[in-house]
Each structure stands twice: as C-alpha cells, then as structure tokens.
Amino acid sequence: MTSFSQLSLSPALLKAVSEEGYTTPTPVQAKAIPPILEGRDMLAGAQTGTGKTAGFTLPILERLTRHEHHKGKPKLRVLILTPTRELAAQVAQSVVTYGKYLPFRSTVVFGGVGINPQIKALKAGVDILVATPGRLLDLHSQQCVDFSNIDTFVLDEADRMLDMGFVKDIRRIIALLPKKRQNLLFSATYSDEIKALCESILHNPAIVEVARRNTSSELVRQRVIVSDCARKTALLGKLISEEKWKQVLVFTRTKHRANKVSDYLNKLGITSAAIHGNKSQSARTKALSDFKAGHVKILVATDIAARGLDIDQLPRVVNFELPNIAEDYVHRIGRTGRAGNAGEAVSLVCIDEFDYLKGIERLIKKVFEREVIEGFEPDPSIKAEPIIQGRGGGQRPSSGNKRPTGRKPRR
C-alpha cells in the first residue's frame, strides 16, 4: 500500500499531512498526485468525500516549492475555481492546512461578503487564489486580479458548475488565462457539456477515476419510503424521533421548502437549521458550524447550498423531495458513506415524484423496495401540496392529484 512518503512530497508537506493524522493516501490521491507532479493535465472522476481536494492541493504546493520562489510581492500562480462559497472556503482551508510550513500566500474570494478585504488581500500579493466565478470576474473587472502569471488552473466540481449555469463565466475566465498552463478538472459525473469542456481545455490529460460513473456508493444503504406529499414533514419528525437519528442532512428542492421543514422540526423540539442561497454567508457558516458541533441535529439544505459541504462521518441523508435531475441523487447520497464509513440515504417519495424515482433507478441500475410506515400509508383522498418549481425549471410530473394554486412558482 502506498504511503504519502512514497509520493515525492517535500518534508514540509509530509509534516503537515502527518499532523492531520494521515499516513496513507486515498485512491484518488495515490492516482492523482504523481501525474500532477509531472505537470500533466488531468481529468479526474471523483465525488466529494474521496479526498480529491488534498489530491490536487498537495501536488500543487509541491510544484510551487520546486520552482524558483521570487522574493518580494508574490505573483498569482495558481487559480482554483469552485462552484460555491462553502466549497471555496473549504478548499482554501486545505491550502492553508497543508501549506503551513511553506512560504506561499493564498486567499479566497466569493460573493455574499464584502469585496474590499478581498481587494486588499489581492493587492498585497498571493501565490494561490481560490474563487467562485462571479466574484472573480467582478474583481477582474475592477483590475484587482492579474492572471498573466498563472501556470496551474483547477476546475473543481465542474459538473456542478455547469448545473448552476456558470459555463459562460468559466469560458470567460479561461479566455483570460495564459495559453500555456496546467489544467486539472474534477467532476463527479460526465455530461456532454463536461466532455466538450474537457476537449476545449485539456491537453493529453491523465485520466483518474475512483468511482464508477453515475453510480451510488456501495457503502450507503438506500431506502425509499412512500407517503403523501402533505404528510412528509410529520413522517420525517416521526422517523427522527423513533429511529433516534442523531445527525441528518435533509435535502429539499427549494429554499421555501427548506425553511418550512426546518421550522416544523424546531416546533417539535428537534433542533434544526436551514441553509440556502437566500441566507447570508454568516448565517450559513454558523448553521454548518452548529451542525458539526452537534448543537443542531438536522441541517436542511438545497442542492446548491449543500454542494461542497465537508462533514466527516455523516451517518444519514434524507431526500425530503427527490431531485428533478437524476444525477443530483448521486451527489446527495455521496454526502454519507464517506471515507470507508457506512451510511444511510432515506428518500421520502410521494406519487408526484414516481417519475423522478424511476429516472434515478435507471441511472444507478437499481430498483428500490418501496417501504410504507404504519400510519403514513399513501391516501388517495389527500391532495398533494401546491407544487413549487425547483432549480432547472423542472416540475413534478402530472399525477392528477394536484389542486390549482393560482400562485407564482417560488425559487
């Protein structure tokens, strides 16, 4: 079995890795670090929880140490692009953690917070910049970031970038970078758009894949519980209480639903917090911190807000509503069953979501047993709740079990 000491990393990096308690690299780290050190482009198929962040952070830091380090104000050499604020912050922390014995400066920039401290940090000079696309382009438009010396570009969670509509921003940023550079692209799934992006920016890339494409973790027990849409909140409360769930990440398709579920659970005395795009960055950070510390038992999140959340040994995720994009199911349940730990994914499914469920089953090539909880058997006489349009404009398939609302869709 490979150890970190066999991966040609400098003593300063090995010391930092050791202090974090790691001795053996994960499969993606063992496969990705050598070709990155050689300066090759890379396409890596890896979901969150596989150790991919250290898989590119460590060799990037190592390559910086091997190049001449000029004294004085640092020049931006490495750009790491991520889809969300939370992931950007976590990647930036990884750079700080593993680079603490090295002389390089790094910073992170994203929206939702004041821009002036970010401008100040960039003007002071950095070697490594972690950024979300929108804020990076804002800073560039103000001539606060210089791309001319970048020799390594990382596109993390490229599939999510495209899902969130960042493809134009990404191409704008790529057009601003030096033509000669190392490109590293990480994606959990492969769409036609991803393949087109790879062809346009990667040159003879090393291919690293540590999980079968578009499959769910074999360490995750997957349950489907059938119920009425209108009684899902009560069912969730019952499951949390009676099955004594301790730490649960609950997914909803909309911000509105995340708030409703969180409020309902808090009224039951089950500590809960919601995170989504309408929440301030400080509120989202506090909710995640309280969840990790155990002060909050249930974290309710939309797909975009939950992307990139790094929660060690999360035992359970709940799909309160199934995603309208089947691949998102794979992303969601990838939050549990990580780093060799077993996990459970529970999906609460009503009749309006059966087409989504069939799409997920086709994708992962698995047919789920449908559970029914006593007292929550589907009742045809109970009408579904008003349908709220989710990300991507998808609506639940028609079932004849809906009442007109006269309300505009809420996002």
pLDDT digits (tens, 9 = 90+) for 223-256: 999 999 989 999 999 999 999 998 999 999 888 9
pTM, rounded to two decimals = 0.61
Beta-carbon contacts of 152 under 8 Å, excluding residues fewer than 6 positions away, are 60, 63, 77, 78, 79, 181, 182, 184
* Res. 295: pLDDT tops 80: yes
Q: Which residue has the higher pLDDT, 86 or 350?
A: 350
pLDDT band per the 50, 70, 90 thresholds, residue 175: very high
Q: Which residue has the higher pLDDT, 34 or 188?
A: 34
Mean pLDDT of 262-275: 94
* Res. 1: pLDDT tops 80: no
Tell me which of 156-165, 199-208, 325-334 is least confident.
325-334
pLDDT band per the 50, 70, 90 thresholds, residue 370: very high
The pLDDT assigned to 305 comes to 66
Tell me which of 16-20, 108-112, 405-409 is least confident.
405-409
Mean pLDDT of 27-38: 93
Tell me which of 89-103, 111-125, 128-142, 179-193 is least confident.
179-193
Mean pLDDT of 268-297: 87
Portion of the chain with pLDDT greater than 70, in percent:
85
pLDDT band per the 50, 70, 90 thresholds, residue 22: confident
Structural tokens at position 49: 């929880």
Tell me which of 41-45, 137-141, 184-188, 326-330 is least confident.
326-330
The pLDDT assigned to 246 comes to 86
The pLDDT assigned to 214 comes to 47
The pLDDT assigned to 383 comes to 55
pLDDT band per the 50, 70, 90 thresholds, residue 386: very low
Dihedrals phi, psi of 134, to nearest 5 degrees: -60, -50
> How much is the mean pLDDT over the chain?
84
pLDDT digits (tens, 9 = 90+) for 69-127: 666 788 999 999 998 888 898 899 999 999 999 999 999 999 888 999 999 999 999 99
Q: Which long-range contacts (C-beta less than 8 Å, at least 24 apart) are formed by 239-247?
A: 239/318, 239/346, 239/373, 240/265, 240/270, 240/297, 240/298, 241/268, 241/270, 245/297, 245/315, 245/316, 246/297, 246/315, 247/291, 247/294, 247/297, 247/314, 247/315, 247/316
* Res. 9: pLDDT tops 90: yes
Q: Which residue has the higher pLDDT, 389 or 294?
A: 294
Mean pLDDT of 136-156: 95
Domains detected in the chain: 4-209 (3.40.50.300), 220-393 (3.40.50.300)
Structural tokens at position 209: 């894949």
Tell me which of 3-12, 34-43, 64-73, 152-161 is least confident.
64-73
**What does 65-126 look like in DSSP terms, one character per residue?**
HHS---SSS----EEEE-SSHHHHHHHHHHHHHHTTTS---EEEE-SSS-SHHHHHHHHH--
